[in-house]
Amino acid sequence: MGGFSWPSEAEMDYSTKVVAEMAGVATKDVRLVLSPYRVCPLGAHIDHQGGAVSAMTINKGILLAFVPSGNPEVVLRSVHFGGEVNFRVDEDHHLKKAGKSYVNANGSTKSKEECSWGRYARGAVYALKCGGHILNQGIIGLISGSSGLDNSGLSSSAAVGVAYLLALENANNISVSPAENIEYDRLIENEYLGLSNGILDQSAILLSRQGCLTFMDCKTKEYKLISPSNLKGGGSNGAQKSYKILLACSGLKHALTSATGYNCRVSECREAARVLLDAVGRDEAEAVLSNVELQVYEAHKDKLDPILARRAEHYFTENLRVMEGVEAWASGRMDDFGKLVTSSGRSSIQNYECGCKPLIDLYEVLLRAPGVLGARFSGAGFRGCCIALVDSEHEIEAASFVKREYTKLQPELVSKIGEEALIFVCESGDGARVISSH
53 versus 149: the higher-pLDDT residue is 53
Mean pLDDT over 6-23 rounds to 96
**Distance in angstroms (rounded) separating the CA atoms of residues 164 and 212:** 25
pLDDT at 234 over 70: no
For the chain, domain boundaries: 9-221+430-436, 235-426
Would you state the pLDDT for residue 111? 44
**Distance in angstroms (rounded) separating the CA atoms of residues 104 and 91:** 9
For residues 266-303, one letter each, b for 16 or more C-beta atoms within 10 angstroms of the residue's C-beta and e for the rest, the string is bebbbbbbbbbbebeebeeeebbbbbbeeeebeebbee
**What average pLDDT is seen over the chain?**
87
Task: Fill in the DSSP letter of residue 189.
Answer: I
Mean pLDDT over 249-258 rounds to 66
Give the model's confidence band at 20: pLDDT under 50 very low, under 70 low, under 90 confident, else very high. Answer: very high
Give the model's confidence band at 124: pLDDT under 50 very low, under 70 low, under 90 confident, else very high. Answer: very high
Q: What is the CATH number of domain 235-426?
A: 3.30.70.890
pLDDT single digits (tens) 45-96: 998 999 999 999 999 999 999 999 999 999 999 998 888 999 999 987 664 3
Would you state the pLDDT for residue 255? 46
Mean pLDDT over 103-117 rounds to 45
Which residues, in sequence order, are CB contacts of 347 under 8 Å at separation 6+?
A: 44, 313, 314, 317, 318
Would you state the pLDDT for residue 382? 61
Mean pLDDT over 175-194 rounds to 94
CB atoms within 10 A of CB 438: 12
Q: Which of 257-261, 326-330, 400-404 has the lowest mean pLDDT?
A: 257-261
Q: Which of 10-19, 88-97, 228-237 has the lowest mean pLDDT?
A: 228-237
pLDDT at 300 over 50: yes
**Distance in angstroms (rounded) separating the CA atoms of residues 278 and 284:** 9
**Distance in angstroms (rounded) separating the CA atoms of residues 422 and 437:** 31
**Distance in angstroms (rounded) separating the CA atoms of residues 207 and 179:** 9
The CATH architecture to which 9-221+430-436 belongs is: 2-Layer Sandwich (3.30)
Confidence (pTM) = 0.83
Active site residues: 201
390 versus 356: the higher-pLDDT residue is 390
Selection from 77-91, 224-238, 305-319, 379-393 with the highest mean pLDDT: 305-319
Q: Which of 73-87, 248-262, 303-317, 331-345 has the lowest mean pLDDT?
A: 248-262
**Distance in angstroms (rounded) separating the CA atoms of residues 72 and 60:** 31
Residue 343 C-beta-side C-alpha neighbours within 13 Å:
17
**Distance in angstroms (rounded) separating the CA atoms of residues 192 and 73:** 20
Is residue 138 within 8 A of residue 89, CB to CB? The reply is yes
Q: pLDDT above 90 covers what percent of the chain? A: 73
pLDDT single digits (tens) 326-342: 999 999 899 999 999 99
DSSP annotation string for 266-325: HHHHHHHHHHHHHHTT-TTS-S-GGGS-HHHHHHHGGGS-HHHHHHHHHHHHHHHHHHHH
Would you state the pLDDT for residue 113? 40
Closest CA to 125 of 109, 136, 114, 140: 136
E strands within 353-416?
372-377, 384-391
Would you state the pLDDT for residue 100? 33
**Distance in angstroms (rounded) separating the CA atoms of residues 326 and 215:** 7
